[in-house]
A and B are shown apart, each in its own frame.
Chain A
Amino acid sequence: MKENKGMVCWMIFLILIFMGLATSAVAAEKMPYKIGANFEFTGPWAEVTKTLKMATVMEVERINAMGGVDGHPLELIFEDNGFDLGRAAVNMTKFTRDKEILAVVGPFEDNLQATTRAIAEREKITNIIICPSNPMVRALKQRWAFNIAQSDIIVSQKLVDLCLARNYKKVLVFPAVIPLAQSLADYFKRFGEEKGMKVIIAKETHKPTDIDMTPQLIKLKPTIEQEKVDAFYACTAGPPGPIVCKNMRTMGIKTPILGTHAFGFGFIIALGGEAMEGVEFGGAKPVVPDQLDENDPVRPIILDFDKRMRERYGVGIDQLAGYAHDTISLIYDALKRCQGKVTRATFRDALENTNSLKNCHGIYNYSPTDHDGLSKKDMVFIRIEGGKFKRIKFPGYE
């Protein structure tokens, strides 16, 4: 009995000492720069978010292994917002409360981005948003919000170039009821008609959850035949793309299919099977890491990143992994360029002054008027052949 008590006292004493040592040890090295990540770990985007998490974690560990930003390690803090508006906003507040957090990455869902960006604007914290596809959100001229994605404007311009190269004069657009698809369709129509094409946006639409597009296609088939459209633009993202292709081939429509840059994922081909053969779209460079030009400035970065991803997780990179990589390296770059004490304000200014930073997706240039970064030159034409993404080139359009 007594011995036990003595033991306990000793234990507690030792533990206290150790804790003291530990704290002092922590205090010795420099405080980490914290980055909040406000992602949809559950809900429809879970898979996407998994990729983002893997890539970001890997990059951060690499940077820390290299000694961090002049001694300060980077630290990521993940929060799940469960695809829910309220929870996303609350997470944002939670991050802003912690004074050491310099920036918040995400969320991924368009409808949540509007709120978090508003909060970021109010609380004066940088909010880096991956793939803001909602035109209303992306276009909000906000000081504290930065976008990492090919804006739907350049995607549409690239696709118009593809049509011109292929000499498609008349294109039928079959849009999904998601913000990305809607703005893509609008911009495609505008730029296409500037270039003298005839773009028909079908009244028929489809939901991301639709499992069978045959009825809509049946209503579109007469249009395709009467108007003799040269190409069919499946303006959608995710599973509906392959479904559309499959149903079209099943119905025996032979029109060539154009896709969005959201077609550039392995699972799309896996779902569509041979129906996907011959689909063309303008995609990002990480989709075809091995087929870039020798003199492409971003080629080494992509190959290196691809190698490390394969070593660590056994999967190659895709566009999203690329976005994650770009996010972290942008932050790293900005932190290095911060003058004096690193605060949220100085970090934001440094990030806004990012200039010709080479990254997976291309060369980033931020400026007070432009928070989008990428340009049309950072995209390539891609065709699906033999169950693989194959880069195609056209003289004059690059």
Chain B
Amino acid sequence: MQTKKEFRKRDFFYLLPLWLLSLIVPDADDLYSYRSKEFKRRELYYLGAVLFLPLIWSDPHFHHLMVLAGIYTILALGLSLFLGYAGQISLGHAAFFGIGAYTTAILTTRYAFPTFLAFWASAATAATAAFLIGKPILKLKGYFLALATLGFAEIFLVIVRETQTLTGGVIGIFGIPWFSIAGFSFDTYLKQYYLTWGVLLGLFLFSKNLVRSKLGRASLAVAASEDAAKSVGIDVAQIKIKVFVMSAAFAGFAGSLFACIMSTANPEAFSLGFSTLIVMMVILGGMGNLYGPIFGSILLTYLMDILGRYQEWSLPIYGVILILLLIFFPDGIGTRVGIRLIYLIGYWAKKKKRDEGKL
């Protein structure tokens, strides 16, 4: 009797924080449920948080961090279309990010393009590059696909370092202007925050639509079983190319924003480590789930920032944390926690009903 009471108490203890968590943690059955048009209440929570958090918590450091997280999220969102939905591996997205950044840098500093045009141009360039490289590469699978994309990224770095007349080589390009639309320039972190997350919101809706359309189903089918996909007449190679190009375009957008906000572009920023970081964001957030990238990138960006305090130890700790997270949450923290949550709530509700029934 007493034990039962204790149980109920403990459940209650769990539930309050977990309910709060459920507002920020992506929904587990987003993985499965038919992707419906109408927004859920949870999504409104997210939107509200994105809109008002920076105003409530007006701290430049937080804003700056969220700007970075937003940029990484755009990149990770594109990657999760390719990684989580089409089930292909890419370790080369840092290259597309870099292509975007360099396109913006060159266009704005050399040819005095308005940043808004450069923004679209960089996405176009990245998409074109993805199309050209994807046609031969995407017939590979698994490890070899990963290695091929990685090789592409390395080659991109070498080219950037060597073509000094165009990219400034290792010296890089400086003095990229702020992002500005029609004379309104985003010069404070708050404005940049709204810029980044506005772009992110648009791309998020875009990919949400994409995922529940014909193309999204086709890519999921490719991920599940290519034979089955072929047997219903899906052109597997074409689908792969489409998704790859799409994710590269996202990376281009992200790169352009990055160049504008950091006001510099140099090869060191687009190395293998960055690709790894982005893939980790997608995995940890939970693959095949559009909220995953957001969750994962915010998580990792904050992790990196906190680790900065442990000067020399930051990198080893980072490595250990990565491995542990991968071992214990191979299908993403978000998904895992969400499932636990739903299970627990359901269990609690059942138990309550049972007790009432008894009384």
Number of interface residues of A (CB under 8 A): 40
Give the residues in chain A near B151, CB-CB below 8 Å: none
Q: Is B181 an interface residue (CB 8 A)?
A: no
Question: Cα distance A90–B64 when bound, in Å?
Answer: 6
Residue among B59, B60, B161, B312 with max Cβ neighbours from chain A (10 Å): B312
Is the CB of A41 closer than 8 A to any CB of chain B?
yes
Q: Quick one: which of B59, B169, B263, B309 contacts A97, CB cutoff 8 A?
A: B59
CB distance from B271 to the nearest CB of A (A): 9
Which residue of B is nearest A40, CB measured?
A: B311
- Determine whether A339 belongs to the interface, using a CB cutoff of 8 Å to chain B: no
Q: Is B199 an interface residue (CB 8 A)?
A: no
B171 and A93 contacting across the interface, CB-CB below 8 Å = no
* Residues 23-58 of B contacting A (Cβ, < 8 Å): none
Q: What's the nearest-Cβ distance from chain A to residue B181, in Å? A: 20
Is the C-beta of A182 less than 8 angstroms from some C-beta in chain B?
A: yes
Segment of A131-139, A157-165, A227-235, A381-389 engaged in the interface with chain B:
A131-139
Q: Which residues of A contact B308 (CB under 8 A)?
A: 79-82, 87, 91
Within 8 A of A (CB), among B295-321: 301, 304-305, 307-312, 314-315
B159 interface contact, C-beta 8 A: no
Q: How far is the CA of A178 from the CA of B266 in the complex (A)?
A: 12
Q: How far is the CA of A255 from the CA of B19 in the complex (A)?
A: 74
Q: Is A323 an interface residue (CB 8 A)?
A: no
Contacts of B307 in A (CB 8 A): 80, 82
Interchain CA distance A136-B306 in the complex, whole Å: 31
Q: Is the CB of B309 within 8 A of A115?
A: no
State whether A179 touches B68 (Cβ < 8 A). Answer: no
Whether, in the assembled complex, A220 has its beta carbon less than 8 Å from a beta carbon of chain B, the answer is no
Contact B314 A111 (CB under 8 A): no
Q: A90 contacts B263, CB within 8 Å?
A: no
In whole Å, how far is A60's beta carbon from the nearest beta carbon of chain B? 16
Q: Determine whether the beta carbon of A41 is less than 8 Å from that of B60.
A: no
Within 8 A of B (CB), among A201-234: 207
Whether B262 and A42, one on each chain, are in contact in the complex, defined by CB atoms closer than 8 angstroms, is no
Q: Does chain A have a CB within 8 A of B354?
A: no
CA distance A197 to B159 in the complex (A): 33
Flag if A85 contacts B262 (CB, 8 Å).
yes
Q: Say how far A178's CB is from chain B's closest CB, in angstroms.
A: 6
Contact B262 A89 (CB under 8 A): yes
A177 within 8 A of B: yes
Which residues of the partner chain B approach A110 to less than 8 Å between Cβ atoms? 171
A81 to B65, CA, bound (A): 13
Closest B residue to A42 using CB positions: B315
Contacting pair A134 B171 (CB below 8 A) = yes
Are B170 and A177 in contact (CB-based, < 8 A)?
Answer: yes
User: A109 near B311 (CB under 8 angstroms)?
Assistant: no
> Which B residues lie within 8 Å of A260 (CB)?
none
Interface pair A96/B60, CB less than 8 Å apart: yes
Task: Tell me, in angstroms, the Cα distance from A80 to B315 when the chains sit together.
Answer: 10
Inter-chain contact B268/A41, CB cutoff 8 Å:
no
Chief secondary structure at chain A's binding surface: helix
B117 at the binding interface (Cβ < 8 Å): no
CB within 8 Å of B: which A46-92 residues: 46, 50, 53, 78-87, 89-91
- Chain B residues with Cβ below 8 Å from A182 are 169-171
Query: Of A82, A85, A137, which contacts B314 at CB under 8 A?
Result: A82
What A residues does B263 contact at CB under 8 A? 114-115, 118
A114 pairs with B264, CB closer than 8 A: yes
| CB contact between B311 and one of A80, A90, A97, A137 (< 8 Å): that residue | A80
Closest to A78 in B: B311
Whether the Cβ atoms of A86 and B262 lie closer than 8 Å is: yes
Given A94-B61, A135-B171, A177-B169, A79-B262 contact (CB < 8 Å): no
Is B210 at the interface (CB under 8 A from chain A)? no
Q: Contact mask A240-279 → B, CB, 8 Å, 1/0?
A: 0000000000000000000000000000000000000000
In the complex, A32→B346 CA distance in Å?
A: 55
Give the CA-CA distance A95 to B258 in the complex, in Å: 21
Report chain B residues within 8 Å CB of A80: 307-312, 314
Q: Which of A78, A83, A87, A97 has the most CB of B within 10 A?
A: A87
The reply on B96 being an interface residue by CB < 8 A is no
Q: Report the minimal beta-carbon distance from A57 to chain B, rounded to whole angstroms.
A: 12
B268 lies within 8 A of A109 (CB):
yes
**Bound-state Cα–Cα, A8 to B61, Å:** 39
CB contact list, B302-346 vs A, under 8 A: 304-305, 307-312, 314-315
Alpha-carbon distance A110/B264, docked complex (angstroms) = 11
Choose one: B169, B189, B268; the contact of A85 (CB below 8 Å): B268
Q: Does B174 contact A (CB under 8 A)?
A: yes
Bound Cα distance from A111 to B59, whole angstroms: 26
Q: Which of A42, A93, A137, A207 contacts B174 (CB 8 A)?
A: A137
Nearest-Cβ distance from residue A344 to partner chain B, whole angstroms: 15
**Structural contact, B304 and A42, CB atoms closer than 8 A:** no
- Residues of chain B within 8 A of A97, CB atoms compared: 59-61
Give the complex CA separation of A83 and B168 in angstroms.
20
A91 to B314, CA, bound (A): 14
CA distance A96 to B189 in the complex (A): 13
From residue 113 to 170 of chain B, which have CB atoms closer than 8 A to chain A? 161-162, 168-170
B29 → chain A closest CB, angstroms: 34
Assess whether B171 is in contact with A79, with CB atoms less than 8 Å apart: no
Of listed A86, A93, A111, residue having the most chain B CB within 10 A: A86
Q: How distant is the Cα of A50 from the Cα of B268 in the complex, in angstroms? A: 22
Complex contact A177–B161 (CB within 8 A): yes
Contacts of B266 in A (CB 8 A): 85, 111
**Does any Cβ of A come within 8 Å of B269's Cβ?**
yes
12 extra A-B contacts, CB within 8 A, seeds A80-B307, A87-B305, A87-B308: A41-B314, A80-B311, A80-B312, A80-B314, A85-B269, A86-B301, A90-B64, A90-B65, A90-B68, A114-B264, A134-B171, A182-B169
15 contacts between A and B (CB under 8 A): A79-B309, A80-B307, A85-B262, A85-B264, A85-B268, A86-B68, A87-B308, A89-B68, A89-B262, A90-B68, A109-B268, A111-B172, A118-B264, A136-B168, A136-B174
Q: Which 6 A-B pairs have the closest CB atoms?
A: A41-B311, A42-B315, A111-B266, A93-B64, A114-B264, A80-B308
